[in-house]
Amino acid sequence: MGALHAGHETLIKTARAECDVVTVSVFVNPLQFGPSEDYSRYPRTWPQDLTICDRNGVELVFAPPVEEVYPTPQLITVDVGRLAEHLCGKFRPGHFRGVATVVLKLLNITRPARAYFGEKDIQQLVIIRRMVSDLNLPIRIVGVPTVRESDGLALSSRNKYLNAEERRAAPALYRALHDAASRIRAGEHDVSKIRAGALTLLAQSSLIRVEYIEVVDPDELQPLESIVGPVRIAAAVWIGTTRLIDNISAEPN
């Protein structure tokens, strides 16, 4: 969706190292925003996006106008089923339908051999992996680890929305996930105790309102009650009017 930052640049550099031709799509997709969400104020930084693509040797930037992607009403959409029942999908009805639909369109238009997505949007990554597999697309989806600020905050185009005080509070999200992962590595199996620990950390800032924090299986993102293998811990919080998400993998030792 543009507003490229060092996280996106890592996607580009990874693709550049592995592929002959690199294409970047820049498209703020109206179909994935709810009516009360930030479609119109979502940051657009087109000249800077082009500079980042240029300096990384991107061959093609595909930045179509909305009317080219949706010339007529989009009657056909991708239903992602139970993959959207939890985490962000629960709080953003229709969001992952919109994401999956536009990604399928963009993949069909650009026809890549590989496509690179950040792990920061873990539910999106899992859904796109499953879409490619369930719909038999001859594409390899590559997940790229989240890029973080030195204090742990995951890079996101929406970090621009934070004022100075909110920015200082924001790293608590990563600290809470990190705390949960440490408890799991230390042998804690009970998800309710792991969540309680993370929520206590987040409650220390009065600026933070927790939307969800869940421990889920990494393939279908269904909530777990006790931990026996690899998991994803994912959370969304509001800081003022800004919604931030983050996630981390963990596994019992």
Could you list the active site residues? 8
d(CA 28, CA 63): 9
Which range touches a copy of itself (CB under 8 A), out of 100-108, 167-175, 199-207, 242-250?
100-108
Cβ distance to a copy of itself smaller for residue 133 or 200:
133
Query: Would you count residue 74 as binding a copy of itself (CB under 8 A)?
Result: yes
d(CA 94, CA 32): 7
Report the residue from 18, 59, 134, 190 that binds a copy of itself according to the rule CB under 8 A.
134
Residue of 74, 87, 115, 245 whose CA lies nearest to 176:
245
Tell me the Cα Rg of the chain. 18
Query: Would you count residue 223 as binding a copy of itself (CB under 8 A)?
Result: no
Q: Say which DSSP state 38 is in.
A: S
The pairing of strands 208-216 and 60-62 is unpaired
Report the residue from 6, 21, 60, 135 that binds a copy of itself according to the rule CB under 8 A.
135
Query: Would you count residue 78 as binding a copy of itself (CB under 8 A)?
Result: yes
CB of 111 to a copy of itself, least distance (A): 8
Residue of 168, 158, 244 whose CA lies nearest to 205:
168
Cβ distance to a copy of itself smaller for residue 94 or 143:
94
Query: Would you count residue 80 as binding a copy of itself (CB under 8 A)?
Result: yes
Query: Would you count residue 131 as binding a copy of itself (CB under 8 A)?
Result: yes
Handedness of CA 47, 48, 54, 55 (dihedral sign): positive
| End-to-end Cα spacing for the chain | 38
Query: Would you count residue 82 as binding a copy of itself (CB under 8 A)?
Result: yes
CB of 69 to a copy of itself, least distance (A): 9
**Do 155 and 120 touch, CB atoms closer than 8 A?**
yes
Which residue ranges make up the site for a copy of itself (CB under 8 A)?
72, 74-83, 97, 100-101, 104-105, 108-109, 127, 130-131, 133-138, 220
